[in-house]
Amino acid sequence: MTDRILVNITVNGMVYERWIEPRLHLGDFLREELGLKGTHLGCEHGVCGACTVVVDDEIVRSCLTLAVQADGAMVETIEGKSESGAIRDLQDAFLERNALQCGFCTAGLLLTADALLQAEPEADRARIREHISGNYCRCTGYHAVVDAIEAVGECRRAGARGAQP
Amino acid sequence: MKAPPFAYRRVDSVAAAAALLREHGDEARLIAGGQTLLATLGMRLSEPSLLIDIRGIAEMQGIAVADGHLRIGALARHVDVERSALVARHLPLLSLAAPHIAHAAIRNRGTFGGSIAFADPAAEWPACTVAADGALTLSDGTRSRTVAAADFFLGLYQTALRPDELITAVQFPLPGPQRRFAFTELARRHGDYATVGLALAGDVTDGRLDDPRIVYFGVGGTPVRARAAEAALAAGRAEPAALDRAVAELGGELAPAGDLYAAAATKLHLAGVLLRRGIQSLMAEDAQS
Ligand SMILES: Cc1cc2nc3c(=O)[nH]c(=O)nc-3n(C[C@H](O)[C@H](O)[C@H](O)COP(=O)(O)OP(=O)(O)OC[C@H]3O[C@@H](n4cnc5c(N)ncnc54)[C@H](O)[C@@H]3O)c2cc1C
Ligand code: FES
Ligand code: FES
């Protein structure tokens, strides 16, 4: 009745084929099946944002996505985003500005921030706060997080202006 | 907090989904965006033995304008509505409301139809759909029927949906040129369910307000239309005295339940605050245009 299903999921550019139980959510798939422990699981009901990953270029809650629903999808996790250097500027800014302490929320916050800056490079502080409102951080008080994201937004905008077409 | 075991089937037509619902009865659940369902399964609030994934059903997708209506497919995601130029042009009420629904990562998966089917009394889409005169298309795969949004929400989490029916789309009549909308809500944190919220529509001509629709959410088991408050404001200039009368009427129309964070009296007071804000923004918009 709860037979395993064969899925084919591309994670950080690598294709994985696995037989999995339908009830397995994407967060557990990444952590337990693939050993990618950078994606954290906090509440497992959609509230804390620690499990945020990118599926087909959009951030989602990996705890509210079944792995079987991600069959055929392209998933990116904090590991892939780090290794490719895509969010190096955000990671550096989080360190510099003390925007992470225990680090539990950090992977989710970085991916959430990156999604905002890609869609709205000009996002102001109010917009940044609104956008990260779905990510709990128990350590930083958010001010430093907003500082870091704002600083990277400014840098990316300056870079875009300076870049040659 | 892991979900209990279940089987999973993906379907590509309304008929196939409805047939599985008939075959498995209460044991089966539809899953659209899963943003409510998977959370409730994790908390073991229900233990279905089969999930029917409807996300691939083509006839339930898309946002389009045709025959004097804006049609939103039930599987349009919150973010699709949020970003839709058609929605912004024809029914800005929905564009105003969308950013208040949960958080970006959830809006990327949750669907318009899923929110309406779930009928959370504090959710934005049900109230907006009532305020904008929406009508739902319900289908069991062979027969479809149309139910006005105002008749769809029957009670707390109760709707007119039959056990083997799906919401396939929501149709909105295109508003006339004088129709204005306002949306406002109070939540403890941006993206949380509203403590009290208000979806507002009205014809505004030269500072005159006609045919207002005042629909609250978070104050009862369903979206609540405040008809006496509407009457106090209808065919008038929404001057302070009329607004005071409308706010006073709310006491007889809304019966919010107190919760952990706000007492019933507080919610009633906030409903009045929102009405003043909403009407102000409705009338101000007219002054600008
Ligand atoms: C942390 C968090 C915060 C949230 N905050 C808000 C908020 O502020 N406002 C808000 O409105 N929502 C909020 N939500 C809920 C979210 O918006 C959901 O996406 C939405 O309510 C359900 O849509 P879905 O497509 O995800 O439905 P699913 O979870 O897939 O399904 C929900 C229910 O509807 C049924 N269903 C789904 N589609 C159909 C259909 N077409 N026909 C018939 N039945 C159907 C399913 O069987 C199920 O019973 C929040 C969710 C989370 C996790
Ligand atoms: S673990 Fe997914 S949102 Fe908390
Ligand atoms: S750094 Fe500890 S939870 Fe955010």
d(CA B184, CA B274): 7
Per-10-residue mean pLDDT of chain B, 289 residues long, equals 91 98 97 96 89 98 97 98 98 97 98 98 97 98 97 97 98 97 93 93 95 96 97 91 96 92 94 97 70
Question: And the tokens for B1?
Answer: 């907090």
Question: Which pLDDT belongs to residue B150?
Answer: 96
Terminal CA-to-CA distance of chain A, rounded, Å? 57
Question: Which pLDDT belongs to residue B133?
Answer: 98
Q: How far is A97 from chain B (nearest CA, A)?
A: 24
Q: Measuring from atom 46 of ligand 1, which residue has the nearest CA?
A: B30
Question: Which pLDDT belongs to residue B287?
Answer: 52
d(CA B223, CA B154): 10
Question: Which pLDDT belongs to residue B289?
Answer: 45
Q: Kindly provide the residue ranges of all beta strands, DSSP E only, lying in chain B, ordered along the sequence.
A: 7-10, 28-31, 50-53, 63-66, 69-73, 135-139, 144-148, 153-155, 158-159, 166-173, 179-186, 196-205, 208-217, 224-225
Q: Who wins on pLDDT, A160 or B281?
A: B281
d(CA A153, CA A161): 12
From the CA of B106, which ligand is nearest?
1
Contact A1 B7 (CB under 8 A): yes
User: For A21, which DSSP code?
Assistant: -
The 10s digit of each residue's pLDDT in A18-35 is 999 999 999 999 999 999
Q: Mutation target for A interface from B27, B46, B109: give the one with most A CBs within 10 A.
A: B109
User: For A32, which DSSP code?
Assistant: I
d(CA B103, CA B110): 10
| Burial B200-209, CB ≥16 within 10 A → b, else e | bbbbbeeeeb
What phi and psi values does residue B147 have, to the nearest 5 degrees? -125, 125
Residue A139 CA to ligand 3 centre (angstroms): 4
Question: Which pLDDT belongs to residue A164?
Answer: 47
Question: Which pLDDT belongs to residue B212?
Answer: 97
Question: Which pLDDT belongs to residue A2?
Answer: 67
Tell me how crowded residue B171 is: count the other CB atoms within 10 A of its CB. Answer: 18
Task: Please state the atom number of ligand 1 nearest to the C-alpha of residue B40.
Answer: 29
Q: For ligand 2, which residues put their CB under 6 angstroms from it?
A: A 41-44, 46-51, 61, 63
Q: Kindly provide the residue ranges of all beta strands, DSSP E only, lying in A62-137, ordered along the sequence.
A: 74-76
Mean per-residue pLDDT over chain B, rounded: 95
ipTM for the predicted complex: 0.95
What torsion do the CA atoms of B264, B35, A48, A150 make, to the nearest 10 degrees? -100
Q: Any chain B CB within 8 A of the CB of A130? A: yes
